[in-house]
Amino acid sequence: MTAYSVVLAPQAEDDVREAYFWYRERSASAAESFRTEVFAAIDAIARAPLVRLPDESGNRKRMLKRYPYFIFYDVLDEVVTVLAVAHHRRRPGYWQPE
């Protein structure tokens, strides 16, 4: 099995931080649960990033189970780059280059 390294784009880091603080204003346990689920999903992506098929832009996505967020990522050689952790309904495609 190939080992993939993971890089979080600055936008993805901002996404996680903003969502974490949004949840924390409402519930500390929800915020921690969100963060745990995001990083568990990223770990799963790193183990098998090619499981998800790429879209027309070449990006792949994984949906979180308990929160309305997708993790968008791409794979180049043995590097997975997390591009965004995007809410299902807020600003669709904001993270994609124009």
In this prediction the pTM is 0.89
* Of the candidates 29, 28, 15, the residue with the CA atom closest to the CA atom of residue 68: 15
Q: How far apart, in whole angstroms, are the C-alpha atoms of residue 50 and residue 63?
A: 15
Q: Percent of the chain, pLDDT > 70?
A: 90
Q: What is residue 58's predicted lDDT score, i.e. its pLDDT?
A: 85
Domain with residues 5-85, CATH architecture: 2-Layer Sandwich (3.30)
Q: What is residue 5's predicted lDDT score, i.e. its pLDDT?
A: 95
Band (pLDDT 50/70/90 cuts) for residue 31 is very high
Helices (H), the chain: 10-26, 28-47
Domains of the chain, residue spans: 5-85
